[in-house]
A and B are shown apart, each in its own frame.
Chain A
């Protein structure tokens, strides 16, 4: 017997994703119509958006009534994905650091913290690898690109 909807966090998460996708598609369609309601502007966007919205509804309904395929594999709960979520947050901080701090320093911190987060027990090795890797890659980028980017040492 299938447990009720609220007891299946994966279903709820899927419904949230579908809501975000449908919301973005509706906004995009509205924005396209606002830009120009002509056939030339909407001849591909409108049918594709309407079909995609219909599919969102269909998939949402399938999720709500619980008509899953027998072989559907449910994803691990977000609680079990703490390490992945932490890594994604670290990745986001890294991209932010590139823009507002410096390429070499951000790369060094990202690689060193990632290594420790992902299980490297030798801290000296983690820091040493991160320093060499950050220096080499930033120097290669500096040599290759004709335009400037922020860095501290290279």
Chain B
């Protein structure tokens, strides 16, 4: 599967000139900054800096853009951990355990865990891309709406685990999110729940909604404190704790590997990507854990699971972009713009004729991973200073950045208004112990689930037996069932062996 002649050509391209490498450090820093500011995101960063790539050769342009991608994938974890404000939808699950760790004064360790998981995830993603770029792309073409629906349902099952003690409240919060996610025009053209407003035709803006539900509502609660970390001793900047956190990530090799594989597979599917991958990885890790009682309260495995998956999904999405010319999400869509600026069309012919260039991009990304460790450490060390900023300065500043971010994302006042409305909803929900995370998951996956269910129904004509003709869907469905029943089987198995031992 590896073409060694092309590989030699790739090393020539990369190491024959120093200019392509110049684009990497600024790309990583831009990605880190844009990922860390709530509302701004990797696609926004790429779009802002895309015109610069017109003055670069194609390899430099791709290294620059993938560096933004890599930096941004990790950058989103920083506000998720420090302020419970996921910088992007792909860092939602990072906040579940990262923020409780920060509140306990373990913010440095949590950021170290996230950095290590991100770098390992990105590395594994690109190793898999390096070995299987063509087979991944071919497999993606075999996925239809039934398979996509099963994947969306897999993500939605996490709702059940987020009940915070009340299963009914968790389920209601999730179902409410699913319904909110279906507001607007359906895939069939039916308009529901817009109240006649044209602004809602495309549905509720998901990112501003999640910023409101997660971030603003948490910030409203935070104003009762003086600092994010109340214990003054835990507020100091501790480089050693970040490094120890990085080392701690390797205590969970299974979680790292599983998260990375889930990320690559889901990241390769167009329209799904890292925002689903982190949720599926988190829910799988929680379900498989022998002791899952600490999830949601600051379990390091939650951070590792989420970050390894959202970072490795970059490799998956690059596979579909390079091999098929299909953008899997906003970031790869902007990359496709860079392709067009250099008169290049992605796809099987591009891979066949430019394998050395593809390998050069992949090898360049391995170097980016190493560089992310260095730059990420410095960035994280500076970012941990947030815990020393008084809440009275932090809260209005973060709210303004979130509002500006949502405005830039949507392009009009719908973004800020959505943040406001969902901030109030989120605050009321939190007051009565409803898990806002379940609502966020519902909003993120509700529209996708409905669209894929509708397409499955239309293709099958309503015949449930249709699934029997879709072997991949059956395998995915069985995996989902096994995953759901795993905790039960584990408990039964454990008690069986205990009885036998007695």
Contacts and interface: CB of A to CB of B under 8 A. Distances in A.
A107 B433 CA distance: 32
A120 B160 CA distance: 42
B179 A45 contact: yes
Contacts of A17: 428, 432
Interface in A17-60: 17, 21, 25, 28, 31-32, 35-36, 39-41, 43-45, 48-49, 51-52, 55-56, 58-59
A145 B48 CA distance: 8
B220 A87 contact: yes
Given A17-B432, A137-B401, A149-B407, A52 B179 contact: yes
16 contacts: A13-B431, A28-B192, A31-B193, A35-B191, A44-B446, A48-B178, A59-B168, A59-B172, A69-B166, A87-B220, A92-B420, A94-B399, A98-B413, A107-B400, A115-B393, A133-B397
A73 interface: yes
A114 B417 contact: no
B487 to A, nearest CB: 21
Interface in B366-404: 391-393, 395-397, 399-401, 403-404
B169 interface: yes
Given A72-B433, A84-B220, A120-B392, A44 B450 contact: yes
B172 A32 contact: no
A99 B420 CA distance: 13
A3 interface: no
B428 A118 contact: no
B165 A111 contact: no
Contacts of B161: none
Contact of A141 (B192, B221, B404, B457): B404
Nearest to A22: B172
Interface residues of A, number: 59
Nearest to A16: B428
Given A40-B457, A115-B393, A91 B399 contact: yes
A115 B182 contact: no
Closest 7 CB pairs of A and B: A118-B392, A114-B396, A75-B431, A52-B175, A32-B192, A55-B172, A44-B450
A44 B428 contact: no
A83 interface: yes
Interface of B: 44, 48, 165-166, 168-169, 171-172, 175-176, 178-179, 182-183, 186, 188, 190-193, 216, 220-221, 223-224, 391-393, 395-397, 399-401, 403-404, 407-408, 411, 413, 416-417, 419-420, 423-424, 427-428, 431-433, 446, 449-450, 453-454, 457-458, 462
A35 B176 contact: no
Contact of A25 (B166, B176, B396, B408): B176
Contacts of B172: 21, 52, 55-56, 59
B168 A58 contact: yes
- Interface of B, helix, strand, loop or mixed by DSSP: helix
A48 B165 contact: no
Nearest to B187: A40
User: Residue among A44, A58, A92 with the most chain B CB within 10 A?
Assistant: A44
Contacts of B423: 88, 91
Interface string A92-111: 10110011000100010011
A65 interface: no
A43 B455 CA distance: 11
A153 interface: no
Interface in A57-89: 58-59, 62, 69, 71-73, 75, 83-84, 87-88
Contacts of B404: 103, 137, 141
Interface in A110-138: 110-111, 114-115, 118-120, 129, 133-134, 137
A114 B395 contact: yes
A43 B458 CA distance: 12
A114 B392 contact: yes
B400 A32 contact: no
A119 B227 CA distance: 13
Contacts of B416: 95, 98-99
A107 B169 CA distance: 36
Nearest to A25: B179
Contacts of A52: 172, 175-176, 179
B162 to A, nearest CB: 15
Given A21-B176, A69-B166, A118 B420 contact: no
Contacts of B169: 59
B193 A32 contact: yes
Nearest to A133: B397
User: Residue among B183, B186, B396, B407 with the most chain A CB within 10 A?
Assistant: B396
A145 B409 CA distance: 10
A111 B188 contact: no
Interface string A137-154: 100010011010100000
A8 interface: no
